[in-house]
Chains A and B, each alone.
Chain A
Amino acid sequence: MASPMTKKVLLMGRSGSGKTSMRSIIFADYMARDTMRLSPTIDVEYSHVRFLGNLHLHLWDCGGQVCTYADRKASRATP
């Protein structure tokens, strides 16, 4: 089980909406203009961010197509 100070954070939205760009600027010191070089996220990219020493963020950067997993109708249609 995750310790109380580990928090799971989901980052979701359509493909190309800018999820990885903003994550890279905030947590990985990217300059805004450098985010143009990022390629689309496939599936889920996990990153572990240590924040304020004892707070651990498990950031799940979910590629745009992962959102379709949320759709039960779609998952039933394609088993």
Chain B
Amino acid sequence: MRDHIFRSVELLIYVFDIESEEQGSDFSQFADVIEAVEQHSPDARVYVLVHKMDLVKEDVRKAVFCEKEASILSQASDHLRIQCFRTSIWDETLYRAWSHIVYSLVPNTALLESHLNEYCTICGADEVVLFESTTFLVIAHATCIPHSDTHRFEKISNIIKQFKLSCRKVQAHFEGMLVQHHQLIALFENLTRSTAIMFISSNPDLMHTALISSNVAQFRAQLKICGLIG
């Protein structure tokens, strides 16, 4: 059974409950799992999620997480690549962690990003973001005009997902979203069968939905030629 579970693992996601009252045995079990993975799948990547962080008071959340992260990393061997995230199902931190995890599994990300960067520059967009279209996890992005909020991607994943589920409740099918005011346009629409794109521009010359849609169509065609994503 042990071999069966820990053999040919690409990635291990290990979840710690921050509110757990048995920290000692949590860590010894974690150490056993890490040892088993290291033995059977030495090339596996490990992501540790410190979960239920919403139960920790906001002003001490960062400190509590850092302390936990330090103890986790001290348990781990030097051979495995381990990365820690704090998560909660009640906010966007869940999307941040899972976007990171999934990103590490996607092949050709560098090529995809170079296409996206080129597209962003040519179209004069502030930013373009590529999402997987069933989970809305972020796969890649290109940023020409930097934005101060470093958590914006996971917030968008969370918002769009909630919106899609709300659409479903009223038996509507989510196809896209357009947010526009005098300073900004943000268009979210399906790009390919498995991806969606968000196009953001603050350039007054670009604030035409038809123009952006036609740009998106061009990009869709380009990706199809490259055979990058299905």
Contact = CB atoms under 8 A, between A and B. Distances in A.
B interface, how many residues as a size bin? Answer: 35 or more
Contact of A75 (B2, B168, B195): B2
A18 B135 contact: no
Interface in A32-67: 32, 35, 44, 51-55, 57, 60, 62, 66-67
Contact of B14 (A13, A25, A31): A13
A13 B5 contact: no
Contacts of A26: 94-95, 98, 135, 137
B9 A14 contact: no
* B interface, over-half SS: mixed
B126 interface: no
B32 A67 contact: yes
* A interface, over-half SS: mixed
Contacts, number: 132
Interface core residue of B15, B16, B139 (most chain A CB under 10 Å): B15
A13 B17 contact: yes
A70 B105 contact: no
A76 to B, nearest CB: 11
B86 interface: no
Contact of B89 (A2, A18, A55, A66): A18
A70 B6 contact: yes
A49 B57 CA distance: 35
B89 A10 contact: no
B209 interface: no
Given A7-B105, A10-B11, A53 B165 contact: no
B52 A18 contact: yes
Given A12-B13, A25-B94, A52 B5 contact: no
Nearest to A43: B1
B132 A51 contact: yes
Contacts of B230: 52-54
B89 A72 contact: no
Interface core residue of A18, A67, A69, A70 (most chain B CB under 10 Å): A70
B17 A10 contact: no
Given A18-B51, A44-B5, A53-B230, A71 B89 contact: no
Interface string B102-124: 10011100000000000000000
Contact of A55 (B5, B9, B36, B106): B106
A12 to B, nearest CB: 5
Interface in B5-41: 5-6, 8-17, 20, 22, 26, 29, 32-33, 35-37
Interface of A: 2, 5, 7-14, 16-19, 21-22, 25-27, 29, 31-32, 35, 44, 51-55, 57, 60, 62, 66-72, 75
